[in-house]
Every structure is written in structure tokens, then in C-alpha cells.
Structure 1
Amino acid sequence: MIYLLLKYIHIIGAAVLLGTGAGIAFFMLMAHFSRSAPVIAGVARIVVIADFVFTASAVVVQPVTGVALAWLAGYSLAEGWIALSIALYLLAGAFWLPVVWMQMRIRDIAQAAVAANQPLPPIYHRFFWWWFAFGFPAFGAVMTIIWLMIAKPQIF
């Protein structure tokens, strides 16, 4: 019973990571294409909160439940697909942490533009496109991890 409960929590955590990532990317992209500093400021404010509430929670839950599941199922963490999942998880984190910081900067820059009744400055666009680029490896890593969890391929 504990195994199924942990598996359920682990799957929900994976869905939250993937879903929140996709949702945040969609809303930030749509806000950016609006070219409206007030819209961007509002969306970025909510996105930062969502990342801290949902993504950060899942980031903590995933390794805890994953290690417990591997142990209960008799897998070694050195098992190929598990080791690759762990490496990809660390890679996703290495891209996600700067993304969160960039989202906070985007929010602050947009809020300052709104307060000053000014257009978005060039620094906003640099942060946005770096944020956009960093999302691809993080999102791709999470998608690959989900495939590894399902397929459990023999890797090495």
C-alpha cells in the first residue's frame, strides 16, 4: 500500500512539474507577445508565485518519493535509467534556478516600467529571451525523465 501511495504522489509531482512548466511558459509567452508592460508585470508576478508554490513543492517531493520507490522496488540508484533520470533532474534544476531568478527580474523590470509609465527597456527583452532559451533544456529534461520512468530501459 505504501508503494502505491508513493507512486501516486510521484506521478502527481511529475505532472505538476510538467504542467506548471508548460503553463508558465504559455502565459509568459502570451504576455510577452502582448507587448504590454502592465500585462507582463501582472503575469510575471503570478508566474513567480506559481513557481514557488507548485514547482518548488514538486521539486522537493520528486527525489524523496523517487528514492523511496526505488528502494521499495529493489532498484539501485545506479540502475541506468535511474542514474540518467537523476542526472537529467540535476540538469533541469541547473536551468530552472536561473529561470526563476530571471522571472523575478522580468517582473521587477516590467513593474518599474509600469510605475514610470515607460516602455519596456532593452534589458527586459534580453532577460525574456534568455528565460525562453533556458526553458527548453529544463522542459526537455523533465519530459525525458517521465519517459524513463515509464519505459525503464536498459541503458548500462
Structure 2
Amino acid sequence: MSLYLALKFLHLLGATILLGTGTGIAFFMLMAHLSRDAAFVAGTAGIVVVADALFTATAVVAQPVTGYLLTRETGIGLGEGWVALSLGLYVTAGLFWLPVVWIQARMRDLAAAAARAGAPLPAAYNRLFRIWFACGIPGFGSVMAIVWLMVAKPALGG
């Protein structure tokens, strides 16, 4: 296998992991939240925190590394329109993902405390869920746009 194909495979794998893990996390967190069961939310959020650390964080590191190496291998400049826009969207996704990592851990802790006390999910949990959900839209949307740019490689700019 050529270096180019190996890098392309790893880059595509990273993109798939970002989209797949993001979709799975969003689905499972939403379903747990809708149950209003504090113990279920705590358990789900605990798994989500681990999944983010294992899968999302690894892909977040691998994507720019493999992307940069691909640009070097192909001779495409980082200033190429679709590449530059992808990089901007990557930063945007990161700015929304980083607080979500902390929010998920805090939601887990609040739900676990409520479950131990036999209490409903507290108002602080509900506030964090709304922020978590709101951050997911531009964060995940940015990743989807990056994948489209990666596939279409549109001619942008002048």
C-alpha cells in the first residue's frame, strides 16, 4: 500500500470515528435525558465520557496530523480554499467540543448524585443539557461540513 493510500485510509477512518462517535453519543445522551431517570442518565453519561476520551479525542488528534501529511504528499497547500475552510471549521468544532467534554462529565456527576439521593435530575443538570445540546449543533455540523469538503474538494475563492 502506498503512503498516500495509508494516510487517506487513516484520515477517512478518523473522520468516520468523529462522525460515528458523535452521532452515537448524541443519540444515547438524548435517549437517557428523555428517560428522566437519574441513574440511567448517570450510567449513560459515564460511558459517553469514556467514549469521548478513547475515540473522539484520538480522532481529534489524528485528523490534523493525517490531513497535514496528506497535503504534503499530494502537494495541496494549506491555503487551498476547501482546505483552509476545513481548518476553520475544525477549529469551530473544537471550540464547541471542548466545553461539551466538561459538560458531559458534570452532567454525569449531577445525575449520579441525584440517583444516590433518590431525587430527580436537578435544575443545574437541565441547564447543562440545554448548553450541551446547543453546542452539538454547530460542533457536529462543522464536522459534517468538513467531511463534505473533504469529499467534494470544491473550488473556493478566486
Instruction: Provide, for residues 100-130 of structure 1, a one-character-per-residue CA deviation record: whole Å limited to 9, x for no partner.
Output: 1100010000011111221111111000011
1:37 is aligned to 38
Cα deviation, residue 44, structure 1:
0.2
| Runs of 4+ residues deviating >2 angstroms | none
1:21 is aligned to 22
Cα deviation, residue 70, structure 1:
0.7
Stretch moving more, 44-53 or 109-118: 109-118
Q: Which runs of 5+ in 2 are unaligned?
A: none
Secondary structure at the aligned position of 1:11 is classed as: helix
Aligned partner letter, 2:147: I
% identity of equivalent residues: 60
Structure 2 matches for 1:7-156, cutoff 5 A? 7-156=8-157
2:73 and 2:7 map into 1 onto residues whose CA distance is: 10
Secondary structure at the aligned position of 2:156 is classed as: coil
1:4 and 1:60 map into 2 onto residues whose CA distance is: 19
Q: Which TM-score applies when normalising by structure 1?
A: 0.99
2:125 and 2:138 map into 1 onto residues whose CA distance is: 21
Aligned partner letter, 2:117: A
Instruction: Provide, for residues 51-101 of structure 1, a one-character-per-residue CA deviation record: whole Å limited to 9, x for no partner.
Output: 000000000000000000011101110000000000000000000000111
Is 1:4 the counterpart of 2:5? The answer is: yes
Aligned partner letter, 1:63: P
| RMSD value, Cα | 0.5
How many residues are treated as equivalent by the alignment?
156
